[in-house]
């Protein structure tokens, strides 16, 4: 499907590293699963809250710090437990005028106290409290009997969501390949001389960080592109004079590898990647040759 190719010119503009596409596919897929589930379950209320909580937990698993399967499962369960506790508690106290304010304030404080250690974790607490307050609009349970019924219903949806999440195919290699494409695009622009050093450094580091974040989520063969790409970026950056003059030979080599990664095909003429004019050019050509050879040998399976 064209939107799910490694590179799509339109989507790459908004989602350069494939992260949003992956997250969107995952949330939509889990939603379809819970919609189907809804056809067979008898819910105590309209089940959008349970679906919302499941969707939020799935979204949380795609956040950058959650970068391994174990962390994803733990984060999913953690978000579900905290969301369900918050919604249940807010529902139980929603009956009281002042008691509601005191209990919501106290629980919010407890969440911030134990979970918020920096801005990012404080953000998670914000989302939990937000869903808790949103849940007050729906048919909340104000007695223990109703609350337990609701909790089981949350758990049913969450368990199915977790199963769907575990069965979701691993597509993180697309993120590494997208990041490699962004690096080669940078090199191309650098070689054409229309890029500042600061921009080059910032974007190189951003792309490398994106690959590093996938270390535990892709096969070691794909992750092993990292050292080659690091060397390539350092070598291309090293000769500032390259930016001043258009280097046709190197540019053609970069272009060839770029097209191969983009279309997930072999680099056709690895041995033709010739050495450049000076020492640095030949080093860059050697690294490009290594990259092409490695791509052909390890990354196409």
Partner 1 sequence: MLSLNFRKRKAQVVGLIVFSLWVANLLQWDEGLWVAVSVTAIIGPFSPSLTLQKSRSRIIGTIAGLLLATILEIFLRYNHQLVFIIGFLLAYCLGFTVQQNYRYFIMVVTIAICLNFEYLNLPFTSFEPISFLISRFMAVLAGITLFLFIQKYILGPQNARNELAESTQKLANHISDALGQIAQASHESAKMGIDLAMDLSSQSESFKELLAASDYGLDAPCNELNQARKIDRLKQRVTSLLLDYSYAEQDRSGAQSQNILKLQKRASRLSKILNQPNQNQVLNA
Decide if residue 300 touches partner 1 (CB under 8 A).
no
Q: Which of 197, 221, 224, 252 binds partner 1 (CB under 8 A)?
A: 197
Helices (H), ranges, 192-240: 197-212, 220-223, 225-238
How far is it, in rounded angstroms, from Cα 182 to Cα 15? Answer: 11
Q: Which is nearer to partner 1, 32 or 166 (CB)?
A: 32
In the complex, least distance from residue 141 CB atom to partner 1, rounded to whole angstroms: 13
Q: Smallest Cα–Cα separation from 250: which of 205, 188, 207, 292?
A: 188
Q: Which is nearer to partner 1, 143 or 201 (CB)?
A: 201
Decide if residue 104 touches partner 1 (CB under 8 A).
yes
How far is it, in rounded angstroms, from Cα 149 to Cα 158? Answer: 14
Decide if residue 129 touches partner 1 (CB under 8 A).
yes
Q: Which of 4, 48, 74, 224 binds partner 1 (CB under 8 A)?
A: 48
Q: Which is nearer to partner 1, 30 or 84 (CB)?
A: 30
Decide if residue 55 touches partner 1 (CB under 8 A).
yes
Q: Which of 5, 133, 215, 251 binds partner 1 (CB under 8 A)?
A: 133
- Going by the DSSP 8-state scheme, the letter that residue 271 receives in this structure is G
Decide if residue 286 touches partner 1 (CB under 8 A).
no
Q: Which is nearer to partner 1, 25 or 73 (CB)?
A: 25
How far is it, in rounded angstroms, from Cα 69 to Cα 96? Answer: 42
* Residue position matching structure tokens 């199915």: 160
In the complex, least distance from residue 36 CB atom to partner 1, rounded to whole angstroms: 10
Phi, psi dihedral angles at 185 (to 5 degrees): -65, -40
CA distances from 239 to 13, 110, 232, 276 (A): 29, 55, 12, 13
Collapsing DSSP states into helix, strand and coil, what is residue 267?
coil
- Residue 65's Cβ-side half-sphere holds a number of Cα atoms within 13 Å equal to 6
Q: Which is nearer to partner 1, 180 or 260 (CB)?
A: 180
- Going by the DSSP 8-state scheme, the letter that residue 63 receives in this structure is S
Decide if residue 130 touches partner 1 (CB under 8 A).
yes
Decide if residue 221 touches partner 1 (CB under 8 A).
no
Q: What number of chain residues touch partner 1 (CB under 8 A)? A: 68
Q: Which of 74, 77, 122, 297 binds partner 1 (CB under 8 A)?
A: 122
Decide if residue 9 touches partner 1 (CB under 8 A).
no
Q: Which is nearer to partner 1, 218 or 267 (CB)?
A: 218
Decide if residue 225 touches partner 1 (CB under 8 A).
no
- Burial of residue 153 (CB within 10 Å: 0-12, 13-18, 19+) is buried
In the complex, least distance from residue 101 CB atom to partner 1, rounded to whole angstroms: 5
Q: Which residues lie below 8 Å from residue 242, measured CB to CB, with a gap of 6+?
A: 190, 191, 236, 250, 280
Decide if residue 44 touches partner 1 (CB under 8 A).
no
**Footprint on this chain of partner 1 (rule: CB under 8 A):** 14-15, 19-21, 23-28, 30-32, 35, 45-46, 48-49, 52, 55, 58-59, 62-63, 97, 100-101, 104-105, 108-109, 112-113, 116-120, 122-123, 126-127, 129-130, 133-134, 136-139, 197-198, 201-202, 205-206, 208-209, 212, 230-231, 233-235, 237-238, 283
């Amino acid at each position: 499907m064209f939107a799910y190719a490694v590179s799509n010119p339109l989507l790459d503009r908004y989602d350069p590293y494939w992260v949003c596409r992956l997250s969107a596919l995952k949330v939509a897929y889990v939603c379809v699963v819970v919609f189907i589930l809804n056809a067979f379950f008898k819910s105590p209320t309209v089940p959008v809250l349970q679906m919302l909580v499941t969707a939020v937990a799935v979204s949380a698993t795609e956040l950058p710090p959650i970068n391994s399967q174990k962390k994803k499962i733990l984060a999913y369960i953690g978000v579900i437990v905290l969301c369900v506790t918050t919604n249940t508690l807010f529902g139980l106290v929603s009956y009281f005028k002042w008691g509601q304010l005191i209990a919501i304030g106290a629980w919010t404080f407890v969440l911030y106290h134990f979970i918020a250690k920096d801005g990012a974790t404080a953000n998670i607490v914000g989302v939990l409290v937000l869903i808790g307050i949103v849940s007050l609009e729906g048919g909340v349970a104000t007695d223990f009997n109703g609350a337990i019924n609701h909790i089981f219903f949350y758990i049913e949806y969450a368990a199915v969501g977790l199963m769907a999440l575990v069965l979701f195919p691993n597509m993180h290699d697309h993120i590494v390949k997208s990041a490699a494409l962004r690096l080669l695009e940078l090199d191309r622009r650098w070689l054409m001389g229309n890029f500042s050093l600061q921009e080059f450094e910032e974007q190189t580091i951003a792309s490398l960080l994106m690959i590093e974040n996938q270390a535990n989520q892709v096969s070691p063969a794909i992750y092993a592109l990292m050292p080659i790409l690091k060397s390539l970026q350092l070598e291309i950056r090293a000769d500032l004079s390259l930016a001043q003059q258009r280097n046709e030979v190197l540019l053609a080599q970069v272009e060839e590898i770029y097209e191969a990664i983009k279309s997930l095909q072999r680099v056709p003429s690895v041995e033709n990647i010739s050495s450049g004019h000076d020492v640095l050019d030949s080093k860059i050509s050697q690294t490009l040759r290594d990259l092409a050879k490695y791509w052909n040998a390890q990354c196409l399976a």
